[in-house]
Amino acid sequence: MCGVTYTRAGVLPDGPGVNWRLLSGAWIAMIVAEDSYVDLETPTGPMRTHIVKPAAAGRYPGIVLYSEIFQMTAPIHRTAVMLAGHGYVVAVPEIYHEFEPAGTVFKYNQAGSDRGNELKTAKELRAYDDDARAALAHLAARPDCTGRLGAMGICIGGHLAFRAGMNPEVQGTVCFYATDIHKGGLGKGMADDSMARAGDIKGELLMVWGRQDPHIPTEGRMKVLARLNEVGTRLNWHEVNGAHAFLRDEGVRYDPELAMTMQGLALGFFHRTLAVGS
């Protein structure tokens, strides 16, 4: 895998697999390091969490990246690499670790969709929040992390990132077409209180929606927007002419132009909100 991370001019870190070149006056380090993972302890058992980070030595802000219902697919991995390549330690938790063996990935087909949607509401809502705290605590404790933390998610992951943003240590949260916030449909046990707790998000929030997404219709989006305005969220709101999963670079709904533009917005957002001193 490869990506880029920018450094200040001066002494360049060196090590196995770090290749430097000069581009537009900036030194760029290609990421060629292997992925790693940690098994984090949670109240519902070990949570396999994939770590993708820059190869160059240093300390970087941390981002918890939440997947779609399919877990750590190739498109999610490429998204993690993109973030890491721009200077972040990225943690990708397996959201259904209680139900499936570590490393399980569902296919982008009907069977995979059915299983992912089944588990979405089979898991206790409290367990999703426990998982978020475990992933954030791991990033904060890493010697290669600055302690500046963000969250990003796609589909159900957008909803999970939204809830992760309720933790006070999260300075910036990005949600791509977050499902079920408007109808309180996440998890079981305690009622889904994401709308009620929206005011707990103290960091800045970036929400991106597809106007042609049947999972979050106009009335659902407006319900979320009204609530966020009501509680005074530091909000960036973007609606684009795209379908559900327009960000995923596999399948007929992928829109490369929209994906590149919105990923650029997300990167700019994290560069601003997670920078030291911001």
Active site residues: 155, 213, 244
Q: Which of 156, 33, 170 is nearest to 95 (CA)?
A: 156
DSSP calls for 32-59: -PPPEEEEE--TTS-EEEEEE--SSSS-
Q: Which residues pair with 6 in a beta bridge?
A: 28
DSSP calls for 66-104: E--TT-S-HHHHHHHHHHHHTT-EEEEE-TTTTTS-TT-
Phi, psi of 30 (to 5 degrees): -75, 135
Cα separation values, 156 from 81, 113, 121, 242, Å: 20, 12, 11, 17
Token pair for residue 160? 């999970």
The Cα–Cα gap between 136 and 67 comes to: 16
Q: Which of 120, 248, 234, 236 is nearest to 183 (CA)?
A: 120
Q: Which residues pair with 157 in a beta bridge?
A: none
Angle at 62 between CA 44 and CA 245, to 5 degrees: 75
> DSSP class of residue 199?
G
Token pair for residue 180? 């079920």
